[in-house]
Chains A and B, each alone.
Chain A
């Protein structure tokens, strides 16, 4: 069975600072995908970034980047230059072939002005 663990229920960061959200997963699969989704108070789930397991290079999307450690089964999200609009719940997700997604329990991030 696949499991996704986010060990930080809540985090806060000062505006313009950098914050890292942790995610670990457990799987016996070799080919899979990892995602970070953002859920603001509007409840809409928004894709932040994704990573293919076969790619060694860490994915980057503007101020968002990941640290993907396949052997350690770790997939952390770094948010640089944090903005007030980054305040949201962040979910780490794992997808194996067959397209079933497994989500972590989320990390609530608050950006403090």
Chain B
């Protein structure tokens, strides 16, 4: 049971380049989330998904797209990277029920956009 994994762990992009971050979970969780963490700002929700084939916008969705084609995977895409997207990105998942509501986090991806 690997929990929540993220690929890659580190990445450096040039302005305008594109990339996809992959999040995978093996806990059969319905809900998955992408956050970004910036100094002094805590974690902010980018997009989330309440089940396979669904996505929804969070607090800071601009410049990102997501897809949830398979229940266990949640992809975060940057079509044209900007320096403002330099951040640490965390994926999280949970069952989505009122009882088992704890979010489990991946180890994070540090992205630098030059």
Contacts and interface: CB of A to CB of B under 8 A. Distances in A.
Interface stretch (B14-22, B66-74, B76-84, B91-99): B91-99
Given A99-B96, A100-B58, A101-B33, A45 B41 contact: no
A75 interface: no
Given A44-B107, A105-B40, 6 more contacts: A45-B90, A95-B103, A97-B98, A99-B94, A103-B42, A103-B43
Contacts of A95: 101, 103
Interface residues of chain B: helix, strand, loop or mixed (majority): strand
A101 B45 contact: yes
Interface residues on B, range: 20 to 34
Contacts, number: 50
B58 to A, nearest CB: 7
Interface residues of A, number: 22
A44 B44 CA distance: 16
Contact of B48 (A4, A45, A47, A100): A100
8 contacts: A9-B40, A35-B102, A45-B90, A95-B101, A100-B48, A101-B45, A103-B44, A106-B42
A55 interface: no
Given A44-B107, A91-B42, A91-B43, A50 B98 contact: no
Interface string A27-60: 0000001010100001111010010000000000
